[in-house]
Amino acid sequence: MPNTKTLVIIKPDGISKLLIGNIISRFTETRLEIIGCKMVRVSKELAEKHYAEHKGKPFYNDLIDFITGKLHQHREVMALVYSGLNAIEKIRAICGATNPEKAEPDTIRGQFGRILESGLMENVVHASDSVESAEKEIKLWFEPDELIQEIYPTEEKVFKNHKKIVWKE
């Protein structure tokens, strides 16, 4: 397998349970490289684009509430891009199965996930599941200049009347 990229999100339950360090340590064992990392307040629009494939499923509304932080004290998530050999498979193996009750106990989801009374699987992390979804997700969550490598082709565009917040002089 070639060098691949994958998007990881530490979900609001992972942030609330103070698991950022633990999760990144686990991923560090893979020796994959972090090429982007940021904290994000997830808008409904971003959540709906990210989980578009699940629209219409019984857990969809709860899933959107979950990822936008409505179920936790912490409204933010951490988004990371990992790069390296078999990145997608290596990261998903450490995350474990989607259902935390079925996930192996030595995986992140097996250790720290749970199923809510509503049935929603609160499973601490998201990780891309294929090269195609990784590209779609990375482009959704990150601008080109937020990554330390140019992993997909870019182009220069000039925006007129483009307002931008900068540090005050």
Residues near ligand IDP, by CB under 6 A: 54, 59, 63, 98, 119-121, 123, 126, 129
Residues that bind Mg ion (CB under 5 A): 129
Rounded Cα gap, residues 57 and 17, in angstroms = 27
In the complex, what is the shortest distance from the CB of residue 9 to ligand IDP, in angstroms, rounded to a whole number? 9
Is 162 considered catalytic here?
no
Which residue in 50, 74, 126, 162 is the catalytic one? 126
Rounded Cα gap, residues 151 and 5, in angstroms = 8
In the complex, what is the shortest distance from the CB of residue 51 to Mg ion, in angstroms, rounded to a whole number? 8
In angstroms, what CA-CA distances link 71 with 21, 64, 65, 68, 146? 22, 10, 7, 8, 28
From ligand IDP, Mg ion, none, which one binds at residue 63 (CB under 5 to 8 Å depending on kind)?
ligand IDP
Q: Token digits for 31?
A: 């020796």
Q: Give the active site residues.
A: 126
